[in-house]
Structure 1
Amino acid sequence: MMVPAPYHGLWRREGIWRTDGSSDTSTLVLWFQSARWHIDSRGFAGNTVVDGARCEWRPEIASPALGPGVDAGIMRFTDADTVEETGIDGSYRELWRRIDAGPVRALRLEDDRGAQAWLMTGMDWLALAHGSPDARRQGAHASEFVFARGAGDAWVVAAANLAQHAGRTIAWPARSWRTGEQVVLPLAAARPWRISQLEP
């Protein structure tokens, strides 16, 4: 099932308000959404399933490890670029603002060790997450996240979950890709990755 077009793009969280009285309006949290997949700057990536107003994120990689609960919310769009998410358990409310509506190009990749990766590009941004699915709920460092700004082949890292990547310039060519093609991902371990799926 494809994710509806109103969800596609790059979103920034404006804030979260919890029923225990706590809130956070300053932490940078980014959500990248393609027609099937998501990358979240908190360190996870995988499939997204939308059923009516219910949106569920089903990560295949995550760091830190995720708890056993379902990650889903009821989504209410107040305009084309603003959506309010309420946890299905009612424990929180988040406000998201879209800062780029796309189009979004996305690749899903695998290596010969079973690691998985997602790479998405928009008008002037690139997001990459990769890691081992075996560690996603075991507390190990399971994934690496990078967000970069730029255009063409040159990108500058604007946010990452590993401090050594901050501010680095990376190369990623803006060209067409093919399923089954072998590539080397920027900043990922220097080993071949195979494109297993792509969109569009």
Structure 2
Amino acid sequence: MNQVAQGYPGVWKRRLIQHRSGHSDSAKAVYWLQTPRLFADLRIPSTALPGLALEALSYSQHPALCEQKGFAGVTQTDADICQWHRKMDYQPVSGDEDIGRMHFETSERLIETALDESYYEVWERLPDSLGACRGQWLQAMDEPSRQGCLLLARDYFLFAANRPTPLTPGTHLRETFGQPEGLKPFGAVLQG
């Protein structure tokens, strides 16, 4: 895969997502760090997450952690179409494609629209993320199947690593959390 177009690298913050249904969200903290090839995306719910180690949380506090999202992989661009090929994901693998039509309103403001026009998103680049931009895939020496990536955009960085035990494919982490077999993968989410 080739490098993305020159205007993409940096850290982008989502200011708004608007769905065709009328639902919109501008409160969730969503960041997308793009290097010339690799990307990582972090989505933090607007409700406060517990600030304790997993072991210190009560069982009733665990579901809040299921609402986070994060994923990383390789970005492919073709004219105004951008596709994010996820290689690791905090949520269970859903099999859905992550692809959108991109339009630069300015060099620092980007509009993403679903190919079927079911949503649009407004992204703004963080000004202090321009400059040196690099991404590197990593592999654990003692467990070659464990991978990670480190991405840098000037003063920002994002590290992502896959789980030691993959989750069963599904639609959302909260669906597996209530099941006894769901507890082990959930506990693995914050490890390594």
TM-score computed with the length of structure 1 as normaliser: 0.67
Q: 2:159 aligns with which of 123, 128, 134?
A: 128
Checking the alignment, whether the CA contact within 8 Å between 1:60 and 1:133 is kept in structure 2 is: no
Which one has a bigger Cα radius of gyration? 2
What is the 5 A alignment of 1:72-111? 72-99=99-126, 100-111=129-140
| SS of match in other structure, 2:29 | coil
Checking the alignment, whether the CA contact within 8 Å between 1:131 and 1:143 is kept in structure 2 is: no
Identical-pair percentage: 30
Aligned partners of 1:3, 1:136: CA distance in 2, in Å? 30
What is the 5 A alignment of 1:1-200? 1-41=2-42, 42-99=69-126, 100-111=129-140, 112-132=143-163, 135=166, 138-139=169-170, 140-141=185-186, 189=192
Code of the residue aligned with 1:104 in structure 2: it is C
**Cα 1:11–1:110 shift into 2, 3 Å:** same
Code of the residue aligned with 1:49 in structure 2: it is Q
**Cα distance, 1:133 vs structure 2:** 9.1
**Cα distance, 1:141 vs structure 2:** 4.8
Of 83-92 and 130-139, the range deviating more from structure 2:
130-139
Greater helix share, 1 or 2? 2
**Cα distance, 1:102 vs structure 2:** 2.9
Q: Which residue number in structure 1 is paired with residue 48 of structure 2? A: none
Gaps of 5+ in 2: 43-68, 171-184
**Cα 1:46–1:107 shift into 2, 3 Å:** same
- Count of aligned residue pairs for this structure pair: 147
**Cα 1:61–1:141 shift into 2, 3 Å:** farther
TM-score computed with the length of structure 2 as normaliser: 0.70
Code of the residue aligned with 1:106 in structure 2: it is G
Greater strand share, 1 or 2? 1
Q: Which residue number in structure 2 is paired with residue 192 of structure 1? A: none
Aligned partners of 2:114, 2:24: CA distance in 1, in Å? 14
| SS of match in other structure, 1:5 | coil
Query: Using CA pairs below 8 Å that are at least 6 residues apart, which structure has the higher relative contact order?
Result: 2
Aligned partners of 1:117, 1:23: CA distance in 2, in Å? 32
Aligned partners of 2:72, 2:29: CA distance in 1, in Å? 17
**Ranges of 4+ aligned residues in structure 1 off by more than 3 Å:** 139-144
Code of the residue aligned with 2:102 in structure 1: it is M
| SS of match in other structure, 1:89 | coil
Aligned partners of 1:143, 1:108: CA distance in 2, in Å? 21
CA offsets per residue over residues 127-163 of structure 1, 9 Å max, x none?
A: 111114973662555996xxxxxxxxxxxxxxxxx5x
Q: Which residue number in structure 2 is paired with residue 154 of structure 1? A: none
Checking the alignment, whether the CA contact within 8 Å between 1:14 and 1:94 is kept in structure 2 is: yes
